[in-house]
């Protein structure tokens, strides 16, 4: 049985250089050996045809492991591949329009402020993503929003929210301690030894979450 989005913890976002068209599949294959509950396909360097092909492959692989599949940016590919959801940025299809096209789809929305988070909730988002928390090469030219925005968003929305941007093993504890239960990462899930890296990330995450909850906070 697939998890609900509110149940997810670590959120791998697969985004490669595009030099090796099979690299995303390799990464996913390794991730599916771990405890992940969701994965996002975010291949910016490939053509729409190539992304659609990857989405079909990802869908078959994730279904076999009861893992949620989110497609970045492209609602057409999400619907055609029977993915569980789509993640929209500020330059993508308007959220209201996407919700009309796909009333039952998980729709995530990138937000960079409390105001944007409130607007996304009002327009029908299933979840919101806050970021970039720290400086990151995947969001060149964008200023980090910082850890304080995590607690601010937690106070004003009932939606599940994820955080992303410059997060790695070294600062993961800080992000969880600030109130983030769902943490999205690109660089934490690339290269060699992905199952080992993921297990190490989960160890840091679970320890930090336990400490956070022991302080009387809610997840």
For residue 73, give its domain range: 7-214
> DSSP assignment of the chain, as one string?
-PPPGGG--EEEEE---SSSTTHHHHHHHHHTTTT--EEEE--TTS-HHHHHHHHHHHHHHHHHTT-EEEEES-HHHHHHTT-SEEEE-TTSS-HHHHHHH-TTSEEEEEESSHHHHHHHHHTT-SEEEE--SS--GGGTTPPP--THHHHHHHHH--S-EEE-SS--TTTHHHHHHTT-SEEEESGGG-SS-HHHHHHHHHHHHHHHHHHHHHTT---
**Is 155 inside a domain boundary?**
yes
Per residue of the chain (219 residues), give pLDDT as tens.
889 999 999 999 999 988 888 999 999 999 999 999 999 999 988 999 999 999 999 999 999 999 999 999 999 999 999 999 999 998 889 999 999 999 999 999 999 999 999 999 999 999 999 999 998 876 667 889 999 999 999 999 999 999 999 999 999 999 999 999 999 999 999 989 999 999 999 999 999 999 999 987 765
46 is a domain residue: yes
Indicate the number of domains in the chain. 1
Is 123 within a domain? yes
Q: Is the pTM of this model over 0.75?
A: yes
The reply to whether 165 falls in a domain is yes
CATH number assigned to the domain comprising residue 198: 3.20.20.70
- The reply to whether 183 falls in a domain is yes
In a domain, 2, yes or no: no
200 within some domain: yes
Query: Is there a domain that residue 91 lies in?
Result: yes
């Amino acid at each position: 049985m697939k998890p609900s989005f509110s149940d997810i913890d670590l959120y791998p976002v697969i985004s490669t250089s595009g030099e090796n068209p099979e690299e995303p599949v390799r990464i996913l294959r390794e991730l599916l050996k771990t405890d992940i509950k969701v994965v996002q396909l975010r291949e910016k360097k490939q053509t729409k045809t190539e992304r659609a092909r990857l989405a079909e492959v990802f869908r078959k692989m994730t279904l076999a492991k009861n893992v949620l599949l989110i497609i970045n940016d492209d609602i057409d590919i999400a619907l055609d591949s029977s993915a569980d959801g789509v993640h929209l940025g500020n330059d993508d299809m308007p959220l209201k329009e996407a919700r009309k096209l796909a009333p039952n789809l998980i729709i995530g929305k990138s937000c960079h402020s409390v105001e944007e988070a409130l607007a996304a909730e009002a327009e029908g988002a299933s979840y919101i993503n806050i970021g970039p928390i720290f400086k990151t090469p995947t969001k060149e030219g964008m200023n980090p929003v910082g850890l304080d925005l995590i607690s601010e968003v937690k106070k004003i929305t009932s939606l599940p929210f994820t955080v992303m941007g410059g997060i790695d093993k070294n600062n993961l504890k800080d992000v969880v301690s600030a109130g983030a239960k769902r943490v999205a990462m690109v660089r934490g899930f690339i290269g060699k030894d992905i199952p080992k890296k993921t297990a190490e990330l989960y160890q840091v995450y679970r320890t930090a979450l336990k400490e956070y909850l022991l302080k009387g906070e809610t997840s």
